[in-house]
Amino acid sequence: MRFSLGVYTCEQTLGFLEKVLTLEREGLPSKFAVEIKSEGTLLGYCGFFHQDVDGTSEIEIGYRLHPDYWNKGLATEAATAARDHAFRDLKLPRVISLIHPENIASRRVAEKIGMALEKHTTFRGFPTNVFSLSREQWLKEHVA
Ligand SMILES: CC(C)(COP(=O)(O)OP(=O)(O)OC[C@H]1O[C@@H](n2cnc3c(N)ncnc32)[C@H](O)[C@@H]1OP(=O)(O)O)[C@@H](O)C(=O)NCCC(=O)NCCS
């Protein structure tokens, strides 16, 4: 929350969920629930945000998990699945992640799924590093 818009009110949370469901209903890339399969426990989300970055439309991979489940590799596992879905199924040309320079955990997840720092910008008033990965780069690693 330190690196984003702060703790949401119930109303803001409902607005967020409504946005997620609207994208889903329209068949556009949206977010997935992240669960521990064996327990059925919901611990967060991972998926796609539609962002305007410096005047360009981008698809961002975003992730947010309950703190009890941090540092177990789960965001990396979820973001890897989202990345592969983006390139293999949705055939997106590229994906990005927008990351506050001090959000080391998020940066590590982006790096572990193969993203590299592209540029620094200001996004919604926050200093922001733009990490990116292109489909071409992904194909090099995933096609024999
Ligand atoms: C970012 C977030 C999703 C990461 O989830 P996670 O399941 O803990 O991520 P992983 O376990 O897959 O990887 C975390 C990596 O960050 C590293 N890390 C975590 N905290 C760190 C810290 N304070 N300093 C340095 N490295 C740190 C871990 O060691 C690990 O890297 P490694 O595999 O090289 O050791 C989680 O911290 C979160 O939900 N944060 C709040 C929401 C958020 O910031 N989302 C991203 C917005 S851009």
- Write the CB contacts of 126 (distance below 8 Å, at least 6 apart in sequence): 3, 4, 100
Q: Which atom of ligand 1 is nearest to the CA of 106?
A: 1
Per CATH, which fold does 10-142 belong to? Aminopeptidase (3.40.630)
Ligand 1 nearest atom to the CA of residue 64, by list position: 39
The protein residue with its alpha carbon nearest to ligand 1, atom 9, reads 75
Letter string b/e over residues 88-112, b meaning 16 or more CB atoms within 10 A of that residue's CB: eeeebebbbbbbbeebeebbebbee
The pTM of the full predicted model, rounded to 2 decimals, is 0.96
Point out the ligand 1 atom lying closest to the alpha carbon of residue 74.
7
Render pLDDT for 43-66 as a digit per residue (tens, 0 to 9).
999 999 999 999 999 999 999 999
Residue 4 CA to residue 106 CA, distance in Å, equals 12
70 lines ligand 1 (CB under 6 A): yes
State if residue 72 touches ligand 1 by the CB under 6 angstroms criterion.
yes
pLDDT over 80 at 94, yes or no: yes
pLDDT digits (tens, 9 = 90+) for 68-91: 999 999 999 999 999 999 999 999
